[in-house]
Amino acid sequence: MTIQTLDDLLAEGVAGRGVLVRSDFNVPLDDDGNITDPGRIIASLPTLKALSEGGARVVVTAHLGRPKGAPDPKFSLAPVAKELGERLGRHVALASDTVGTDALARAEGLTDGDILLLENIRFDPRETSKDPSERAALAAELVELVDTPGGPQAAFVSDGFGVVHREQASVYDVAKLLPHYAGTLVAAEVEVLRQLTSGGGRPYAVVLGGSKVSDKLAVIENLATKADSLIIGGGMCFTFLAAQGLSVGTSLLQEEMVETCARLLEEYGDVIHLPVDIVVAPEFAADAPPTTVAATEIPADQMGLDIGPESVKRFTALLSNAKTVFWNGPMGVFEFPAFAAGTRGVAEAIIAATAKGAFSVVGGGDSAAAVRTLGLPEDGFSHISTGGGASLEYLEGKTLPGIAVLESGE
């Protein structure tokens, strides 16, 4: 079924209407509470601007971090409200609670075009409850903030793609209670992922990194049957190397996954490509001395922290003629300059392929952070996703509750 979008809602008219928006403001903070990567806030701006300029009375709900179902100053959305206000060029009020007295009072005081941000929705344990009745109760209280008795029909806009794979009150249950629409961000993300899964241009190259094979197992198994080449780097490559009978020193290793990796190599050995050289160091530290060794010669007392230059060269060759590229996960510890060359090299190869007409998608999470940390041009890729986990689950073929409920027409 077709999902109704923000354009459909704006066409109906939003002036004077209460609109509840679920955004994704789960941004990284430093030790002083400063936002280090505002990417997700920037991605939310088109939807919020359009609603505000259309005269809606906007109430935004979002989460930050993983508070344990209770208020925690460390996870307050105060820095987000400040950043959001600066980027929108207008005041964004922050309620001191989620659905309590302050949120109610502020919501009642909204005028056309105003934007109110509720405090971290995960401060309320019902948000992530496994009990549908508890989630439904919270959803009803959220709706109360925008639905004025006798007033114009309120609406719900889902614009937090990073959480659509969660069956949570502010993502899933509220959509059952209000006319619902996909925001600009969610609509764009779904369109991009549909393009990837519908078998776009060939050759189709997939680049996977990150630390654990177990986190990417389902997507490896699903995409290995669809991709022409599946490049594996990052910490997860060592479990594959071990599956080939190689010593990986003190590198990250999921011993319980070695047998699985051996099976994957046996079944998809013509598609899966592993590093041929590794940058190793005696310890996990930014100032640890790097040494490049063949993947077959990792010393027993060293750990791999990046792929080597020969691997970058080989992976670049695979990517050079790709027409579709999906990248999720860094090739090494890109946060340490001495171990960032692998991630940079592969990212630059994807940018070069994009410049030649390839459709490239960066699958959110650490990959998107790497693009910004390494100072790479964001417009060098066709699309940078805001939801790593959601992107992977979609590509695994899973149903995403936050998308399915938008399609339901309930």
Same domain, 250 and 317: yes
Residue 276 scores a pLDDT above 80: yes
Same domain, 129 and 269: no
Question: 76-107 pLDDT, tens per residue?
Answer: 999 999 999 999 999 999 999 999 999 999 99
Grade residue 147 by pLDDT with cuts at 50, 70 and 90: very high
What is the pLDDT averaged over residues 209-223?
A: 85
Residue 98: what pLDDT? 96
Does the active-site annotation cover 389? yes
Poorest-confidence range of 124-133, 171-180, 204-213? 204-213
Tokens of residue 158, six digits: 């889902």
In the chain, % of residues over pLDDT 70: 99
Question: 36-73 pLDDT, tens per residue?
Answer: 889 899 999 999 999 999 999 999 999 999 998 999 99
Does the active-site annotation cover 40? yes
102 in any annotated domain: yes
CA separation for the pair 186, 327 (Å, rounded)? 19
388 in any annotated domain: no
In our burial notation (b when 16+ CB lie closer than 10 A, e otherwise), range 369-381 reads bbbebbebeeebb
Residue 1 scores a pLDDT above 60: no
Radius of gyration of the chain (CA): 23
Same domain, 139 and 171: yes
137 in any annotated domain: yes
What is the pLDDT averaged over residues 331-348?
A: 96
What is the pLDDT averaged over residues 345-361?
A: 96
What is the pLDDT averaged over residues 8-21?
A: 97
Same domain, 304 and 224: yes
Q: What is the distance in angstroms between the CA of the first residue and the CA of the last residue of the chain?
A: 12
**Binding positions for (2R)-3-phosphoglycerate:** 40, 122, 166
HEC-encoded secondary structure of 332-375: CCCCCHHHCHHHHHHHHHHHHHHHCCCEEEECCHHHHHHHHHCC
Q: Please give the order of strands across the beta sheet that includes 229-232.
A: 272-273, 229-232, 204-208, 324-328, 359-362, 383-384
383 in any annotated domain: no
What is the pLDDT averaged over residues 3-20?
A: 96
Same domain, 13 and 149: yes
389 in any annotated domain: no
Residue 218: what pLDDT? 84
Among the listed residues 90, 176, 212, 314, the single catalytic one is 212
Grade residue 386 by pLDDT with cuts at 50, 70 and 90: confident
In the chain, % of residues over pLDDT 90: 81
194 in any annotated domain: no
**Binding positions for substrate:** 24-26, 40, 63-66, 122, 166
The rounded mean pLDDT for the chain is: 94
Among the listed residues 40, 106, 126, 344, the single catalytic one is 40
Dihedral sign computed on CA atoms, order 196, 312, 341, 248: positive
CB 319 within 8 A of CB 346: yes
Residue 156: what pLDDT? 98
Residue 409: what pLDDT? 60
What's 361's domain CATH number?
Answer: 3.40.50.1260
What is the pLDDT averaged over residues 209-227?
A: 86
Helix, coil or strand: residue 200: coil
Same domain, 230 and 372: yes
What is the pLDDT averaged over residues 125-140?
A: 97
Does the active-site annotation cover 357? no
Residue 108 scores a pLDDT above 70: yes
Residue 2: what pLDDT? 82
Q: Please give the order of strands across the beta sheet that includes 303-307.
A: 291-294, 277-281, 303-307
Residue 397: what pLDDT? 82
Grade residue 193 by pLDDT with cuts at 50, 70 and 90: confident
Among the listed residues 249, 342, 365, 388, the single catalytic one is 365
- Which one has a higher pLDDT value, 363 or 180? 180
392 in any annotated domain: no
- Which one has a higher pLDDT value, 309 or 40? 309
Same domain, 106 and 204: no
Same domain, 258 and 318: yes
Same domain, 21 and 147: yes
What is the extent of the structural domain holding 14? 6-187+401-407
Residue 181 scores a pLDDT above 80: yes
What is the pLDDT averaged over residues 21-28?
A: 95
219 in any annotated domain: yes
With DSSP H G I counted as helix, E B as strand and the rest as coil, what are the percentages for the chain, rounded to 5? 45, 15, 40
**Binding positions for ATP:** 216, 304, 335, 364-367
What pTM was estimated for this model as a whole? 0.85
Among the listed residues 39, 234, 332, 389, the single catalytic one is 389
> Considering its fold, how many domains does the chain have in total?
2
Same domain, 80 and 43: yes
Does the active-site annotation cover 365? yes
Same domain, 95 and 212: no
Same domain, 84 and 216: no
Residue 219 scores a pLDDT above 90: no
What is the pLDDT averaged over residues 235-257?
A: 95
**Binding positions:** 24-26, 40, 63-66, 122, 166, 216, 304, 335, 364-367
